[in-house]
Chains A and B, each alone.
Chain A
C-alpha cells in the first residue's frame, strides 16, 4: 500500500498533473478543489501528506490549514504548499516545504518522500 496524498487545488489541470505525478511514483492520491472538500476528505481518508494551494474560491488554503490544525488527529500531517502567490511563506505556520508554481517535479517528489518517511 502506497502512502496517501491529498491534493488540494482549484485548477483541474493542476490536480490532474499532480495525480499522475504522484501515482507514477507509488503514491495513492485523492483530490479536492477547495478547502471545504479538503476537510471532508481529510476526515474520511486520513492522508499521510497534503499538497495545498493557497488561493482558491470558497475556502482558502490558509483557512483549511487553520481548521485542520485545531484537530489533534490531523495536525501532525505534513503539508507541502504549492502556490504562485507572493508571500506564500507567511500564509501557513509550519509547512513541511513550499513550492512555487510551476513546480520542479523531481524536487517535489523527493520532498514528498522525505515528508512521509519522517512522519512514519
Chain B
C-alpha cells in the first residue's frame, strides 16, 4: 500500500517535471561539461533544430568550436546562476536573439556541477525594435545626451558626437560649453529637482570651436515615482536660423542707412543749387556793379548756408545715440526760455505765443538741452502751422502739468491742423510739408529725445482744427535714469 502511494507520488512528480520541461515558454536545454546537448524541450528543438549528438555551440550558433565567452563554462566553474544575452542562428539559418538563465545542476546536494540547464527566451522582435530605436536616437537631427546627477554624459547620439566630439563620461557643461563649472540657471538641474520638462535657449561651442545656438529641452528619466536618476537633454540646432535672422537685421539696417543717405543727398543737392544760384546772381551783380542785385545774391548764399548748417545739426542730434544728461531743473523755466526766444518772432507774424504753467510743479531730472530742442521743434512747427492757416490771432500755447506719476509738456496751436495721411508720416525720416524750409528731422529728433527720457510723444489733430502735441514723462522712470546717471 505504502509502496503504491509512493509510486503514485513519484509518478506525479515525474509528470509535473515532464510537463514543465515541455510546456514552459522557454527554450530549455541541458548541457554537459563537454558542451554536449544531453536533453532539450520541444520549444528548443523547434527553434534550433535537431540537437541529438551535437555540441551546444553547433546547435545554438552553427559553429564548429566553443564560443569565446561561454556562459555555461562560467557556471561549471563557480556554480552560480548566470544571466546570458546572445545571438544565435535558428534552424532556418535566421539570426535569433535570446536572453535567459543558465543554472547549475548538481546530482547530489553540495556535489560538483555536472550539467547546466539553459532556459532562454527568444527576443528577436524586441531586439529589432531596439535597433529601430537606436537608429532613431542616432539619426534624429537633434543633439541628444543622457546625463546623471553628477552632470556626466552617459550616452550621446551620433549627431551630438559629430558636433561636440565623443565625450562620454565628461561633464555636460565641459562638453557643451567648455566650462569648468556647472552653468548658471542649468535647466537639467531644474529637471532633476522638480521632475518637469524645461526649455531654454543656449549657446555652446562645437568641437571645431565655432559657436552653436540651440534650443534645449530637458526631460526626466525616472523609474516610477522615485527621484529623477537621469535627465535626457534634447537640443535643436538653430545656428543657421540665427545667422539668417542676423542677415535680415543687417539688410534692414543697410536699407535704413541707404534711405537716410538718399534723403540727405536730396536735401543737400537742393541747398547746393541754392548756393549755385546765389553765386550766379552775386557774380552778375559784381559785373554790373548792381548793389540791389548783390544783396539778393548774398541773401541767397546766406540762406542756403544756414539751411545746410541746420540740416547738419539736426542730423547729428538725430543720429547721436547718447543717453540724456539729466540734471534737476524746473520744467516751467525751460518753457519760459522758449517763450522768450520765440515771442518776438511770433508777434511779428501775428501769432500769439502764451504759456500755461502748473504753479505747483517741482524740479525734476531732465536733460535741459534735449527738452529745449524738443520744445523748439514743437513751437516752431506750431508757429508754421499758424502761418499756413488763414486764421487771425492764431494762438500757440505751451502747457506744463505735474501729476502724481507723470510730467507733461503740451504744445497746442490753432493753425492749419494735420490731416490723417500726413499724421501717419510725421515721425518718418526726412518727411516734411515745408518744402526746402524743413529738414524732415525735427519731430523724429523730438521723439528720439523723449524716448531717451523714457517718455512718450503723442499728437491729436485734424485738418483745419487745433493741433496738440503732448510729451509725457513717467516720473519714476526719470528718477531711475537719474540715479543711474549719477552713479556712472
- Residue positions of A touching B, CB distance < 8 A: 10-14, 16-18, 20-21, 24, 33, 55-57, 84-86, 100-103, 105
Contacts and interface: CB of A to CB of B under 8 A. Distances in A.
Given A13-B278, A24-B284, A101 B270 contact: yes
Interface string B264-305: 011011101111111011001000000000001000100110
Nearest to B269: A84
Given A11-B435, A13-B303, A84-B270, 12 more contacts: A11-B273, A14-B270, A14-B436, A16-B300, A17-B276, A17-B280, A84-B266, A85-B266, A86-B262, A86-B265, A100-B269, A105-B280
Contacts of B284: 20, 24
Nearest to A99: B273
Nearest to A12: B436
Contacts of B269: 84, 100-102
Contacts of A12: 436
B435 A20 contact: no
B300 A11 contact: no
B416 to A, nearest CB: 12
B434 A20 contact: no
Contacts of A20: 277, 280-281, 284
B435 A13 contact: no
Interface residues of B, number: 25
B201 interface: no
A13 B277 contact: yes
B265 A10 contact: no
Given A17-B273, A102-B273, A57 B434 contact: yes
A13 B265 contact: no
A55 B266 contact: yes
Contacts of B330: none
A22 B270 CA distance: 19
Contacts of B266: 55, 84-86
Interface of B: 262, 265-266, 268-270, 272-278, 280-281, 284, 296, 300, 303-304, 432-436
Contacts of A21: 280
Nearest to A34: B435
Contacts of A14: 270, 273-274, 277, 436
Given A57-B434, A86-B262, A17 B272 contact: no
A16 B280 CA distance: 10
B436 A16 contact: no
A55 B433 CA distance: 11
A18 B278 CA distance: 11
Contacts of A101: 269-270, 272-273
B433 A13 contact: no
A83 B280 CA distance: 19
A36 B433 CA distance: 15
Contact of A10 (B275, B280, B296, B436): B436
A102 B300 contact: no
Q: Shortest 3 CB-CB distances between A and B: which pairs?
A: A17-B277, A84-B269, A10-B435
B288 to A, nearest CB: 11
B270 A17 contact: no
Contacts of B303: 13
A14 B303 CA distance: 12
A16 B276 CA distance: 11
A55 B434 CA distance: 12
A85 B300 CA distance: 22
B304 A13 contact: yes
A11 B274 contact: yes
Contacts of B274: 11, 13-14, 17
Contacts of B270: 11, 14, 84, 101
A10 B268 CA distance: 15
A11 B262 contact: no
Contacts of A24: 284
Contacts of A13: 273-274, 277-278, 300, 303-304, 436
A61 B60 CA distance: 96
Contacts of B280: 17, 20-21, 105
A119 to B, nearest CB: 26
Contacts of B300: 13, 16-17
Contact of B281 (A10, A16, A84, A86): A16
Nearest to A86: B262
Given A84-B265, A102-B275, A17 B435 contact: no
19 contacts: A11-B273, A11-B436, A13-B273, A13-B274, A13-B304, A17-B276, A17-B280, A18-B277, A20-B280, A84-B265, A84-B266, A84-B269, A86-B265, A86-B266, A100-B269, A101-B272, A102-B273, A102-B275, A103-B273
